[in-house]
Every structure is written in C-alpha cells, then in structure tokens.
C-alpha cells in the first residue's frame, strides 16, 4: 500500500513553493500554462490525484520523466499525514490526520450493511460552543482549506482500498456553513473530481440561516441535515448558542423554503439529553414544528464522555419519544451510535493537537 509519507511533504526536505492540490482548476490551468504544459495535462493531473490517489508528482507516470522532474522543482502534492488509526469493536474506524501547520483533525469511517459512510471535518475545532459536543470545547483553531476537506475522502479511499466510502457526511469537527466558501469548493471537488454523487453527500449544520438559504446556489445539491436538539428557543439557546442569532422560527422557515429535489427530505438531528429535551411534550412540539417540511428525525441518545454534565436517557424513554413522533405521522429513527469506545460517536471528536512551538 502506498503511504502518505511517500510525499515530499514528509521527507524532511525543503518544499517547492506551490502545492498543486491547493489550487483551483482555473489556477492549475494557469500554472501549467506558465510552465508550457498543454491543457490536457491538467485533466491528467486531476485524474491521478483525485481518482488514483497519487501522493507525489513522481507517481503520475502518465507524465514523461522530464515533465515530472520539471514539475517537481516547481511544485508538490500535499497529503494529510495519518497520525493514528483506531478501530472500534463494531468496525467503526477513526483517523487522526496531521496538517501541514501541525494542527490535526479527525475523520470517522462507519460500516453499515451495504454502505460505508465517511464522516469528515470542515474546521480545526469549532466555534459554535454546543454544550453537549466535545469538539465545541476546543474552540476554533482555524478553517480547513478546500483541499484539506476533500483530502479526507482521498485518504480514506487510499487507506481502505479496494473498498471505498459510498457516502460522505460533513458531520465531523466544525460547522460547515461557518467555513462556507471553502466547503462549497470542497463539495465541488468531491463531486466533480472524485466523482461521488451529491445524492450521497450530507451536510450537517447547527443552523446558520443565511448560509442555508444561499447553499443551493453555491454548491452541488447535497442533502441537508439540521442539528435541532430542542423544541423551544429557551432550551436551544442554552445548549446551542447559535440559536441566539438564528432562532427556531427563522431556522424552520429557511428549511421550508429550501429547494428540495424530488423524493429528498431534510434530516433533523435531535440529540436526546436526559431531563433537558426528552419529554413527551418535547416530542409533541417537535412534530408540530416540523409539520409541512419533508423531513425525517434522527434521534441520537447522548454519547457520554469524560467531564460532561449531560446524561443519556434510558432506552425506554428514547423509544417512548420515538413513539410519540410516529403517532403524529413524523418519520423518526433512533440512530445506533457507533465507535463510542474510541470516542468516534456523534459529538465525541476531539483531535489531539500537536502543533509545534
């Protein structure tokens, strides 16, 4: 298996100035043209980088030896560095990746019958401060660049070959819509260069209303998931600070206006917190709030972690909550948490930072 350490990025030698993977297609075309390379070389480069997962220019054997040598003097291909790989008892895998600046992020690969879902990060840390989420305790270190987001897919494909992810969810570290431009570009790369259908990609947001409204115009038509987690503004503002600026009414109005393709629904994620948002009255209010929105509810019993003040409701209380929703004609599923034993379950990601001084 090829290793990311085959890249010049990890060979302790000075790097050329230009990271080809960081360039947009237009910038690539301009860069190659300035070097006297024909336009079709860009298409070849994208194929080798995004579909054949090349980790270095030397690996692109469709280029002549002279072309590779010339290009390697001017540029390089960056890659995420695998720092750690953990496997859960249920088959879930968590990847800890190092970035060029010494920061790190986590991705999670979740096997489930006929699909292999990759959960990717969009930021280093997160600024949203959701009280029940371990990632939020880190604060925001920085946004990920488009190639760093897409590279999580490339790296997973390389690490799990010959299998590869069938579905992508932006539910890892960070709030995707708070890194809007970079996420939109990353989605264009994942769909256009890697070739994953938008129907198989889901973007999860805590509810940044203006960006929800503009997303269909700026990115491929991926699926939308909204992390709701409460049925009153008082409770939601307490556990999700974003609600103080984007309250429930505005958020749900944006969801009603979201231009869903035929047969698609918005997913509403609802983390059940014992004694906070798990009563039958909460379930009834939730059904009323979502009335008229093509939707399904993913009920997520809280995944505990050390230091949290929240608790997981009993299984019967979770089932009762679901029953209320179903009785009111609201589709509701109980999501089975996976990877909790390696801190890979929903809300548990917390990459170990190793940024050099």
Active site residues: 106, 346
Helix (H) or strand (E) holding 282: helix 280-289
Q: Which residues contact 77 (CB under 8 A, 6 or more apart)?
A: 7, 19, 20, 21, 49, 54, 55, 56, 57
- End-to-end CA separation in angstroms for the chain: 33
Tokens of 83: 């720092």
CA atoms within 13 A on the CB side of 141: 23
**∠ CA(210), CA(214), CA(220), 5° rounding?**
140
Tell me 101's DSSP state.
T
**Residue among 295, 286, 299, 283 at smallest CA distance from 335:** 299
DSSP 182-234: HHHHHHHHIIIII---GGGEEEEES--HHHHHHHHHHS---EEEEE---SSHH
The span from the CA of 168 to the CA of 166, in Å, is: 7
Note whether 121 and 104 are within 8 A (CB): no
Tokens of 28: 């690539």
83 three-state secondary structure: strand
Strands, E, within 10-61: which ranges? 18-19
Radius of gyration of the chain (CA): 21
């Amino acid at each position: 298996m090829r290793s990311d350490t085959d890249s010049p990025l990890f060979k302790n030698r000075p790097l050329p100035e230009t990271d080809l993977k960081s360039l947009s297609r237009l910038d690539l075309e301009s860069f190659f043209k300035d070097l006297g390379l024909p336009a079709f070389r860009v298409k070849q480069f994208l194929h080798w980088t995004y579909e054949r997962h090349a980790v270095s220019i030397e690996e692109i054997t469709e280029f002549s030896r002279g072309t590779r040598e010339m290009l390697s003097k001017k540029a390089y291909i960056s890659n995420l560095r695998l720092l750690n790989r953990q496997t859960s008892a249920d088959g879930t895998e968590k990847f800890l990746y190092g970035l060029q600046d010494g920061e790190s992020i986590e991705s999670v690969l979740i096997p489930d019958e006929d699909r292999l879902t990759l959960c990717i990060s969009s930021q280093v840390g997160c600024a949203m401060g959701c009280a029940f989420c371990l990632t939020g305790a880190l604060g925001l270190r920085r946004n990920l660049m488009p190639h760093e987001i897409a590279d999580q897919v490339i790296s997973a494909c390389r690490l799990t070959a010959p299998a590869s992810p069938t579905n992508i969810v932006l539910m890892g570290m960070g709030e995707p819509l708070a890194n809007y431009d970079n996420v939109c570009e990353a989605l264009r790369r994942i769909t256009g260069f890697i070739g994953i259908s938008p129907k198989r990609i889901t973007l999860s947001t805590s509810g940044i209303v203006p960006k929800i409204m503009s997303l269909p115009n700026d990115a491929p038509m991926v699926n939308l998931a909204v992390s709701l987690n409460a049925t009153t503004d008082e409770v939601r503002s307490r556990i999700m600070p974003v609600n103080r600026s984007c309250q429930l009414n505005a958020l749900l109005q944006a969801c009603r206006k979201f231009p869903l393709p035929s047969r698609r629904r918005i997913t509403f994620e609802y983390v059940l917190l014992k004694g906070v948002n798990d009563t039958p009255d909460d379930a009834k209010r939730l059904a009323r709030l979502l009335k008229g929105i093509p939707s399904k509810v993913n009920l997520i019993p809280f995944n505990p972690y050390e230091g949290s003040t929240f608790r997981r409701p009993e299984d019967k209380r979770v089932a009762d909550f679901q029953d209320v929703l179903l009785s009111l004609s609201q589709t509701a599923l109980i999501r089975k948490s996976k990877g909790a034993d390696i801190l890979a379950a929903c809300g548990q990601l917390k990459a170990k930072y190793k940024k050099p001084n």
